[in-house]
A = this chain, B = another copy of it.
């Protein structure tokens, strides 16, 4: 790091910094009339409805710069916002990016962050439409707002799940949580003995899940291709347990999640076992998986599974009447209540 060029942010000034960071962003969507450079961006959504979602990421709470590459952080900050728009069965089109920059950061480190923002914008066809840049006396602060559009009849809320609907998930769970445990463990080792190199070999998948998650645009594209509209949908940021409860409470229904149907990657199980963590707990309460969790009527489910277009979808349970409550069904057939604070009974 020591021989890398370091340009102080003060050398560019506020206006120079904004221009420097945003000059490579090209407008990709017809709906983006004007982006950066005025009091606000101007967008034209024609006859579609508009979706808006926002996330605040704070150093020390949401990320640790000692093991988070800034490029990955930029990518992830965008990805998790786009995930919220996809979770409405909609397409993101613009983002705004606001940052509070601590004095320990250089222009080059912000370039790394924006390289990640740029990559995510390119990959998902999204325009940078504005933002705010400020000094920060404390840590690095990131606030991103994503805007998207959808035909009104396609928008999928949390509130439409009905008894007998199948609960589906778009991928495996708990990997991001175990990736985080691994990074925290190696950080602790490093802090007590800086000579020891971190031992992360073989766990690329878990690290990728925590450091560079991908929003599931492919799932939304498949749903549209098959003309299947889920009855409800959410992206899993807090773990299956919290997020299925959001759907159940919005829809006024209950649920049964089957423990043996929850997809868990082998690496997640291996590291969980090594660290004495129950992998089911990681999947239910770990969070940050950014998989889609959705409910679908039984006839749509057959259609969906038979023509999955290379996207793996897992049926992990079903919706019940509200009076039946919210339960995990263990392999032994035992029913354990799910709770938003996390499922802490195993």
Contacts and interface: CB of A to CB of B under 8 A. Distances in A.
Given A96-B145, A146-B40, A234-B39, A50 B50 contact: yes
Given A61-B100, A61-B135, A94 B52 contact: yes
| Interface residues of A, dominant DSSP | strand
Nearest to A158: B38
User: What copy number does this chain have within its complex?
Assistant: 2
A58 B98 contact: no
A143 B250 CA distance: 27
Given A44-B152, A87-B39, A141 B53 contact: no
Nearest to A54: B96
A54 B98 contact: yes
Most buried by B among A13, A45, A90: A45
Interface stretch (A124-132, A267-275, A299-307): A124-132
A235 interface: yes
Interface in A137-192: 137-139, 141, 143, 145-148, 152, 155, 157-159
Interface string A36-51: 0111111111010111
Nearest to A86: B39
Contacts of A47: 47
A97 to B, nearest CB: 9
Interface residues on A, range: 35 or more
Nearest to A250: B37
A51 B33 CA distance: 10
A134 interface: yes
Contacts of A90: 40
